[in-house]
Amino acid sequence: MNTFDFSKPVAIGADHAGFEFKTIIRDLLENKGLKVKDFGTHSADSVDYPDFAHPVSAAVENGEASFGILICGSANGVAITANKHQEIRAALCWQTDIARLARQHNNANVLCIPARFISTPEAEEIVNVFLDTAFEGGRHQNRVNKIACI
């Protein structure tokens, strides 16, 4: 239920701490045949994470992107920023089980990865689980419906 629309691109963004992971994850997605819209950053020079979290979140929120991936050092900053957007359910995921539950129970549409706390193989596995897991709906739908402040 509510699987991602892979005809739309994946929105991706990172600050300087997440730049290297962003490049690896972008390549992983493209190697799977997915389109990727890269919102930057494009180097390891110090930048402000909201400058990338807001455009990624806006692209998901307005339907230009199927879902988003944000990466920063702890992933807290990008998750907090992304979740300011009304239609975003950003989940900070540091293990595959967290990524799976974020999709199954919360219908998360933005994956936030903590680059300073996981390895590259762990990040790739988390992305794969997030991509491959569908929202369960059912009892979880009512809960998800109560998230937005409207």
Burial class (CB in 10 A: 0-12, 13-18, 19+), 21: buried
Q: Which of 42, 85, 105, 112 is catalytic?
A: 105
Q: Which of 72, 85, 93, 112 is catalytic?
A: 72
The answer to whether residues 41 and 14 touch, using CB atoms and an 8 Å cutoff, is yes
DSSP states of 46-70: ---THHHHHHHHHHHHTTSSS-EEE
| Annotation says 112 is catalytic | no
| Annotation says 72 is catalytic | yes
Q: Catalytic positions, please?
A: 72, 105
